[in-house]
Amino acid sequence: MEAYCMKCKTKREMQNPEQITMKNGRPATQGTCPVSGTKMFKIGKAS
């Protein structure tokens, strides 16, 4: 799944994507950037 990396300022393929639920109850996907190692988030249900 692709997500935007805030550190690299580009869209990259997420490593270790994991389905989570945010505090407000909305679904999201959390993973890490393969280049910089920072956390990446994508809000919405994964398809």
| 14 exposure class (CB count in 10 Å sphere: 0-12, 13-18, 19+) | buried
pTM over the 0.85 mark: no
pLDDT in tens, 1-47: 899 999 999 999 999 999 999 999 999 999 999 999 999 999 998 76
| Domain layout of the chain by residue ranges | 2-43
Task: Identify the pLDDT of residue 47.
Answer: 64
Q: Are strands 27-32 and 15-21 parallel, antiparallel or unpaired?
A: antiparallel
Task: Identify the pLDDT of residue 23.
Answer: 95
